[in-house]
Structure 1
Amino acid sequence: MDPIENIEAHPSDAPRARRTVVSLGGAAFVFNPWAAGVGAVLTAAALVLFAVGIGASELPMSPIDVVRILCGGGNSFENVVVFDSQLPIGLVSLLVGFALGMSGALTQTVTRNPLATADMLGITSGASAAAVVVITFGSTWASWLADIGLTSAALIGGLGTALMMYVLTWRRGIDPIRLVLVGVAMTAGMQALIAFLLTRAEVTQVAAAQRWIVGSVDGASWSDAVTMFVVLVVAIAVVASQSRNTAVLSLGDDVARGLGVRANAVTGVVLVVAVVIAAVAVSAAGPLAFVALLAPQVAMRLARAEIPGPITSGLMGAVLVTGGEVLCRTVLPAGLPVGVVTAAIGGVALIYLMIQINRKASV
């Protein structure tokens, strides 16, 4: 059950989904069977793509072979290929996709704007700028930043950008339109900073940074997977604790205050969670374009919900990233990073979303 999907679907967008109230002790939860079914299907799809992606390696294997090896039935060579090389990449693909999808759902919900995602608001660009500093100048003047690690540097960059965006946007609350405009400006500024850094770096460092900027999971390690897993477990716990408040907040600040919800505090907590998981995802795989934008919108329509649920959005993000990685390994030219696939799909989706927004505004 997705903790935030407890608002009935809008009749004009999709058929009304039935909901059941479930009581556990003294607490009552709204259970959406349709959304739960969608979540189960997305989970199965992500796991199948995960197995296919692991099998599409230098040792071609079927998904059944992958399951057999993961269950302890492989020989020494198969174990080395799967556990030491392919499994970290597959896990990071799943976790990064989940983190970006969940981050997008949270920002879109609290700002009530489908364009308010980490990559559109400059958060991933800020994290990328800090990571590029580590990659290109970590052995010279930025050694102090390299000492704390790429993940911590990306987190600092993402949080710093989010703080600047919040200060520039705040006017007795957050105006969704102003938020996107400031976010676009922050993104442009951070991308200009990244371009400047690349012109001052060595050629070999620029090549490594460029591939990372596009977005790739090829260099993922077990430490990346463990870090992503721990951060996501904590983030899901925080989001679950704020699920009711976040759902009420999606109705507007005035309604939320009338129902006793501290709108500013809830918004701050949810945005911090969204920034942290997005920044950690960027540190592991680079800024995979449009996943945070596309996954919540697709998940919301599949689940027949009025707001994007963070769990179904995360599962949709995992499907997008793992599916893109499978395409890169099987259909597209060898060596193509998964960020190219997500950017191509997301660009078309952004155009469609803008058309939908304009149509609703003209009604």
Structure 2
Amino acid sequence: MTAPAPPRPARSRRPALVAIAAGLLLFALVIVRVLVGTPMVPLDLALRVIGGEAVPGYSFIVMDHRLPTAVVALLAGTAFGLSGTIFQTLLRNPLASPDVIGVTLGSSAGAVIAMAFFQADGRALFWFALLGGLLTAVLLLVVAGGGGPGAAGAADNRFVLVGIGVAAALGALISYLLTRLSLQSAGDALHWMIGSLSSSTWDRAAVLAGALAVLIPALALLIPRLRILQLGDDTATSLGLSVPRTRVALILVAVILCALTVAVTGPLSFVAFLAGPIAQRLAGRPSFPLAAAVGAVIVLLADIAGQNLFGGTELPAGVITGALGAPFLMWMLTRSPTSGSGR
């Protein structure tokens, strides 16, 4: 008789248990987002509406407002969480999120330029935001020299420092552009810059869902190469990996995830920055699926809190995420610089 297999250690089950808990929490938050608000929606009526029944007074609230908002929040948080974790893992630095290194502001600058000079909205806004994010990433690669092999740690730190400088310059550019707008246009742009889910529609949810349907499989194909890249550029090159191509491909996926989401929701501050480190702390190791789930939880919680916890005042989700992220950023800045996300 063979001896029974030893039980799996608790640590090996931890990521799976955390993932299940995150999935259940997401499901609960979607339900809360649909039911809670002014007016409250009874669960049985919400289920009837979702099932296709027309319920006067509730069909519009559920199907045209709250449910698409919940879906957009779920998808946007997923995209931001993945984008931030790609940058943090690739650059071996928890500060290297799109919020900090300028990619989010690059997308925002592209969108503000579109609004200021072309009165663009809808699909055109997506393309301008994507172009702004891509141009920012190209600038970072050129100035920081992040595309080629070499002293990985120095290049990665240089990428982050250059990104912080680029973010400051882009912030100044956006401020200047806002002074060139009419009062109404500037107000619209400022509202969008805060980051809000108030304009969520099924069409916007479809844009995010389509992008994720393409980019998540692409990321899944790149993750094994990213793991090799974490061994160091010299080791990765000796194993036959094309370091420049892999870096550029990963950055391209991260930028598109970030830029398209910014075009839909505006720059929801610090979601990309928070998701990866929180997921790593919960699971005990870096996890892209869990980072996506944590990003979605953050956005849903921020939207629910902003809509319901401040009396008659409804705050955009970006205000809540910014309030959460700022102290976390200060805490990260006081940590040892060697405590990177990808280690």
2:11 to 3, 17, 30: 17
| Paired residues of 1:299 and 1:313 also in contact (CA < 8 A) | yes
Does 2:318 match 1:339? yes
| Paired residues of 1:102 and 1:274 also in contact (CA < 8 A) | yes
Cα displacement (A) at 1:266: 1.4
| Paired residues of 1:123 and 1:275 also in contact (CA < 8 A) | yes
Does 2:159 match 1:184? no
**Aligned equivalents of 1:46, 1:90: Cα separation in 2:** 10
Cα displacement (A) at 1:116: 0.8
Q: 1:221 corresponds to which residue?
A: 201
**Aligned equivalents of 1:57, 1:296: Cα separation in 2:** 30
Residue by residue, what CA displacement relative to the aligned partner does 1:234-289 show, whole Å, maximum 9, x if unpaired?
A: 11100111221112212221222233322221111111000001001100111111
Q: Which amino acid aligns with 2:326?
A: G
Q: 2:329 corresponds to which residue?
A: 350
Q: How many residues align?
A: 326
**Aligned equivalents of 1:257, 1:49: Cα separation in 2:** 44
Q: 1:257 corresponds to which residue?
A: 237
Q: 1:326 corresponds to which residue?
A: 304
Residue by residue, what CA displacement relative to the aligned partner does 1:133-163 show, whole Å, maximum 9, x if unpaired?
A: 2223334xxxxx6696111110011111111
Q: 1:71–1:122: structure 2 CA closer, same or farther, 3 Å change rule?
A: same
**Counterpart secondary structure, 2:268:** coil
| Paired residues of 1:117 and 1:293 also in contact (CA < 8 A) | yes
| Paired residues of 1:16 and 1:304 also in contact (CA < 8 A) | no
| Paired residues of 1:135 and 1:208 also in contact (CA < 8 A) | no
| Paired residues of 1:103 and 1:310 also in contact (CA < 8 A) | no
| Paired residues of 2:229 and 2:236 also in contact (CA < 8 A) | yes
**Aligned equivalents of 1:87, 1:147: Cα separation in 2:** 20
| Paired residues of 1:213 and 1:287 also in contact (CA < 8 A) | yes
| Paired residues of 2:93 and 2:339 also in contact (CA < 8 A) | no
**Aligned equivalents of 1:90, 1:272: Cα separation in 2:** 27
Cα displacement (A) at 1:60: 0.9
**Counterpart secondary structure, 1:120:** helix
Q: 2:140 corresponds to which residue?
A: 165
**Aligned equivalents of 2:335, 2:162: Cα separation in 1:** 22
**Aligned equivalents of 1:146, 1:341: Cα separation in 2:** 25
**Counterpart secondary structure, 1:77:** coil
Q: Please list every run of 5 or more consecutive structure 1 residues that lacks an aligned counterpart in the other structure.
A: 1-14, 19-32, 140-144
**Aligned equivalents of 1:62, 1:44: Cα separation in 2:** 20
* Percentage of pairs with the same residue: 32
Q: Which amino acid aligns with 1:314?
A: A
Superposed, 1:126-275 pairs within 5 Å as: 126-139=106-119, 149-170=124-145, 172-173=148-149, 175-275=155-255
| Paired residues of 1:57 and 1:86 also in contact (CA < 8 A) | no
* Segment drifting more, 63-72 vs 316-325: 63-72
Cα displacement (A) at 1:91: 1.0
**Counterpart secondary structure, 2:295:** helix
| Paired residues of 2:45 and 2:55 also in contact (CA < 8 A) | no
Q: 1:231–1:44: structure 2 CA closer, same or farther, 3 Å change rule?
A: same
Q: 1:63–1:109: structure 2 CA closer, same or farther, 3 Å change rule?
A: farther
Q: 1:312 corresponds to which residue?
A: 290
Q: Please list every run of 5 or more consecutive structure 2 residues that lacks an aligned counterpart in the other structure.
A: 1-8
**Aligned equivalents of 1:117, 1:261: Cα separation in 2:** 24
**Aligned equivalents of 1:71, 1:37: Cα separation in 2:** 31
**Aligned equivalents of 1:297, 1:35: Cα separation in 2:** 14
**Counterpart secondary structure, 2:256:** helix
Cα displacement (A) at 1:182: 0.7
Root-mean-square deviation (Å): 2.1
| Paired residues of 1:52 and 1:63 also in contact (CA < 8 A) | no
Cα displacement (A) at 1:57: 3.6
Q: Which amino acid aligns with 1:88?
A: P
Cα displacement (A) at 1:61: 1.9
TM-score computed with the length of structure 2 as normaliser: 0.89
Cα displacement (A) at 1:17: 3.0
2:283 to 303, 307, 321: 303
1:105 to 85, 106, 120: 85
Cα displacement (A) at 1:349: 1.0
| Paired residues of 2:41 and 2:58 also in contact (CA < 8 A) | no
